[in-house]
Amino acid sequence: MNKAKASSEKSVSASSRTISLLSQLEKINSDSVLGESDSARHVTSRILHLVQSQEKTRKEMTSKGSTGIEIILSTLENTRDPQTILNILNILIEIVSVGGGRRASVLVTKGGTQILLQLLLTASKDSPPNEELMVLLHTLLAKVGPKDKKIGVKARINGVLNISLNLVKHNLQNHRLVLPCLQVLRVYSTNSVNAVSLGKNGVVELMFKIIGPFSKRNTSLMKVALDTLAALLKSKTNARRAVDRGYVQALITIYVDWHRHDSRHRYMLIRKGVLQCIKSVTNIKLGRKAFIDANGMKILYNTSQECLAVRTLDPLVNTSSLIMRKCFPKNRLPLPTIKSAFHFQLPVIPASGPVAQLYNLPPDVDDVVDESDDNDDAETESEIETEIDDDKDQHFKNDDIETDINKLKPRQELGRSIEELKMYEQFFPELSENFQEWDLVSKEPKPFVPDANLSGPIVVPTASEEHSAEAKPSTKGIALKECSPLLTEEYNRRPVFLELPKKDNMKSSSLHQQNDQRNMLPSCQCLSQEIVKGLDRISLQNSAKNDQYYGTGCVVEKESKAGITTLASSKPFEHVSPCGGSLFEGSSVQLGKLCCTGVDSEEEEDSRSSSSGEHATLQISDVSPVHDCDLYLEMVKNTKSIPEYSEVAYPDYFGHIPPPFKEPILERRYGVQRTKICQDIERLIYQNDIIDRVVYDLDNSSFSVPEEADVLKFNSKFESGNLRKVIQIRKNEYDLILNSDINSNHYHQWFYFEVSGMKTGIGYRFNIINCEKSNSQFNYGMQPLMYSVQEALRCRPCWTRVGTDICYYKNHFSRSSIAAGGQKGKSYYTITFTVTFQHKEDVCYFAYHYPYTYSTLKMHLRKLESMHNPQQIYFRHDVLCKTLAGNSCPLVTITAMPESNYYEHIYQFRNRPYIFLSARVHPGETNASWVMKGTLEYLMSNSPNAQSLRESYIFKIIPMLNPDGVINGNHRCSLSGEDLNRQWQNPNPDLHPTIYHAKGLLQYLAAIKRLPLVYCDYHGHSRKKNVFMYGCSIKETMWHTSVNAASCDLMEDPAYRALPKILSHTAPAFCMGSCSFVVEKSKESTARVVVWREIGVQRSYTMESTLCGCDQGKYKC
């Protein structure tokens, strides 16, 4: 107790002494008393003693509310006594030396920087300058400077820039003085104007007098000199000066010398400092050329390879890698043009926009000229990457947020006359159908209760209540009170155009119910070993004429009763051309290659033995009932593609099922990206080891597939396929180039291609080298998808995630700024992955995501139409319009049939609110189609919740807004070369027919006062996980801007949050935290914003589904 008391008393005593001394110093400053210098010197000496011995004193001096710093600085500014000045400088150094940067920041805010610079200017006038004073001043400035963002400007204004430089010039051997001076020069050089000014006075040359070959002496001075030089060389002027004097070669020589002698890696910071200087000087084109001429690529490659074994040297390896990638000569893609390999002549050429620019480009814009010095060092891809949330929709740029209240407020503008919109009346027969000639389930009407059926709340069934099937559907779900206006005013009167003419528009929908329900060819039907060995392709025409294509006695028979295609063969095939196939009458369609080797007996035995394990053999009952091989081929015949595809990809024909096991997100192996980049750099260093052989080329119509056994065969000539060119780089490594969207010279991300001719036990590396996005989920666990035909024939027709050593990074290919439309980001990116195949001579397909073709959609719609019960479900499949290529854009209507054909039931049927859904406006977002497929199948199912939804709403669905883009393997655009989801404001009927007529349907509903309750456009997201929504809110938009005053008076119905909130409670994959309701200027022409702003649908959404996986909840990978 006594010790504690004594300690406490001592602390209080020290505190009181500090306050007393500061009071004395303040009085000295205010009084002009004779002998004040001695007093100030004495007081500051005592304060220095307290500061050096007690941390508490240092804290008190910079604590909030303390005037200690002001008193000290005031004394420093006013005194002329050298010893007092030295005491105060030592006090300040002691204060800022500990406690992080906070104390230095306090000194800056109190005006300390300006006082110190003035003192430096005054002290420099002494001849000779006081060395001790200069050391202390520069030491303090070096500590305070980094916390003062304007120190460079202050130093220049006060005229002290060259003081530190001259001190270094004249005292090179005085390391005690030179060291803090260099530290201050480093701080000054962060200002580009200062760096140029110092450079003109010979600072670059001076630095090279200090740095040099390996030496154990003065290493701290060497380190500071290198850091200063690296900062100076960020100035292009200084960098050019360094190049002109041959300093690039000198830096490389110095680095090699330190690398060779520093065997124990004690001087890694010096080695890194040299690399930072090289990195700065190679920001300019002259620096990169000098680096290449000095054999820098090979030198840095060899030294970095020698460092790989020591983990602590990773900073050296990463910096070397960045320098080599930067200096790797920029090349154009090895293509005749970066425009698409396919051309479609537009009916109208736009006057402006990307398509107009493309048509006006000069012929040589693909040539890459490295004319710029703007290499972006921001992309330092360190090995231990932290996932930067590049969700630009969450971290909005203020200048992209709409701040004009008048533009934000929804205003219903039809844009077309009522007479013009009447053309869409034909797509809403449900508003006039009287069902008088229909044999409905019940002719006797149930008691008509207007309150319950017409003016009550709309019930939204939820997935979480699926298990309670015995509950009444009408009582399930969550009541949305916001929809009362639709239910009261509109339901209590007959809407416009709502009459009861005698029509029978629904008869046709039942015609497909007759003989169309034949048994399909199941996706996992196992073929016998003899049959497989006798096949190279399956015949696609059920006719005796096909016999001539086999020539070996293989006969195709079709049972009329069961409708199952069976294949028989009298003897095994000899060699069959891989390009063979059967022909349709009037249309040639070929099926992708089957495996010639058949099923090995050992593998067959393995597959049987694994049937009880995790990868259990799937039964026929597991196969989706909406896939029909024969029907798919029938759909393909009427699909129109620009390349006029005649082949069918096996996965699309045969179908697929989900893998019977959970696929985790891939954990990235340490060092994989660095290794891949080094292998790319080897191409330049060891050019003789590169094969550089074209093995697939869409641009060369006469190109023939190589016949060598050790070369992979590629193909993408089928619906939704995208692969333009393949170059063999090494024996088992291939560069793949994707085709740009038609009528465009960019948008490369979607890929879908076939590979054959592989061997087992070999790792094949695939590099897709012309991707454009700056980041990808491939860096965070996503894998490409592969479909193996051999596996499909073994009853495992699955797309599975495959690949190791996966990464996504910027490469050395680029396009000119003209071809890039003036965009700064001109470099391409590489997706690289390595695959080891399970089966020899297999035929495998790779895809960016699960493919979903236009023909698949047509097949699914036909099957749904033929399988539904017309007495319970009202289902219509219309053609909204024709696309530019002449394909049909489907429009689907789903609701419940009325209970009877009595008026009250017909009235309830017609007055159900509309829900409008659309999908696949971006072809590469195939997951949007799979979500839409699930939506359609659920709405057509026997689920009580589905029945409740049908009884509550009329669903108008456009399942594919961009059929042409999907068919031709585009990633983003339609045949017009434009992003259709940026055309909703002013769609052109000639260039954007699907958008024009989709908007017309919504405008028609607005005209007849039947606004949809919900509009939702399905999309896929390539850089975020989970499922989430974007909506529209005025208030939430204003919250993200500085214009908050106007938003305070806004009254906004929060109903726009209702649906996302429901999904967040019922759908495990849905993430409310990723949702956003901000309206951006760049999105003003998207479906979501236009339907909200112009049509007036409050609940207008974009629903985004991840291309990778979930990082939350039940489905977390």
Tell me the catalytic residues. 1104
As a dihedral over the C-alpha atoms of residue 605, residue 607, residue 608, residue 613, rounded to 10 degrees, the angle is: 140
Contact between residue 898 and residue 435 where contact means Cβ atoms under 8 Å apart: yes
The DSSP code sequence of 127-153 is SS--HHHHHHHHHHHHHHGGG-TTHHH
State the pairing for strand pair 1027-1030/1014-1021: unpaired
* Rounded (10°) CA dihedral 759, 760, 765, 767: 60
Give the span between the Cα atoms of 126 and 508, in whole angstroms: 104
One-letter amino acid of 464: S
Task: Extract the tokens encoding 822.
Answer: 């003036």
As separate numbers, helices (DSSP H) first and strands (DSSP E) second, the chain gives 42, 24
What's the DSSP call for residue 1093?
A: I
State both tokens at 441: 């389930």
Q: How far apart are CA 114 and CA 775, in angstroms?
A: 44
Nearest to 86 by CA among 71, 73, 96, 76: 76
> Where is 957: in which H helix or E strand?
strand 954-958
3-state secondary structure of 642: coil
For the chain, the helix, strand and coil percentages under 3-state DSSP, each to the nearest 5 = 45, 15, 45
Contacts of 766 (CB under 8 A, 6+ apart): 733, 734, 736, 832, 833, 834, 835, 846
Q: Do residues 881 and 990 touch, judged by C-beta distance below 8 A?
A: no
Evaluate the omega torsion of the peptide bond into residue 128 and state whether it is cis, within 30 degrees of 0. Answer: yes
User: Quick one: tokens of 187?
Assistant: 């701080």
**Cα dist from 818 to 175, 361, 367, whole Å:** 52, 8, 10
Which two three-digit tokens encode residue 35? 């002998």
Q: Say how many C-beta atoms besides its own lie within 10 A of residue 494's C-beta.
A: 13
β-sheet bridge partners, residue 1015: 916, 1100
Helix (H, G, I), strand (E, B) or coil at 882: strand
CA distances from 746 to 282, 346, 545 (A): 29, 18, 44
Rounding to the nearest 10 degrees, give the CA dihedral for residues 648, 649, 655, 657. -170
The total of other beta-carbon atoms located within 10 Å of residue 960's CB is 31
Alpha-carbon span 482 to 1052, nearest angstrom: 12
- Count of other CB atoms within 10 angstroms of residue 746: 24
Please give the backbone phi and psi of residue 3, each rounded to the nearest 5 degrees, phi first.
-65, -45
**Beta carbons of 50 and 43 less than 8 angstroms apart:** no
For 43, phi then psi, to 5°, come to -65, -45
Q: Which amino acid is at 875?
A: F
Measured CA to CA, the distance from residue 484 to residue 325 in angstroms comes to: 62
H/E stretch holding 104 = helix 102-109
Tokens 């397909």: give the residue. Answer: 845
Q: Do the bridges between strand 763-771 and strand 733-737 make them parallel or antiparallel, or are there none, so unpaired?
A: parallel
807-836 burial string, b = 16+ CB within 10 Å, else e?
Answer: bbbbbbbbbbbbbbeeeeebbbbbbbbbbe
Query: How far is 1008 from 434, CA to CA, in rounded Å?
Result: 19
Cα–Cα distance between 151 and 138 in angstroms, integer? 13
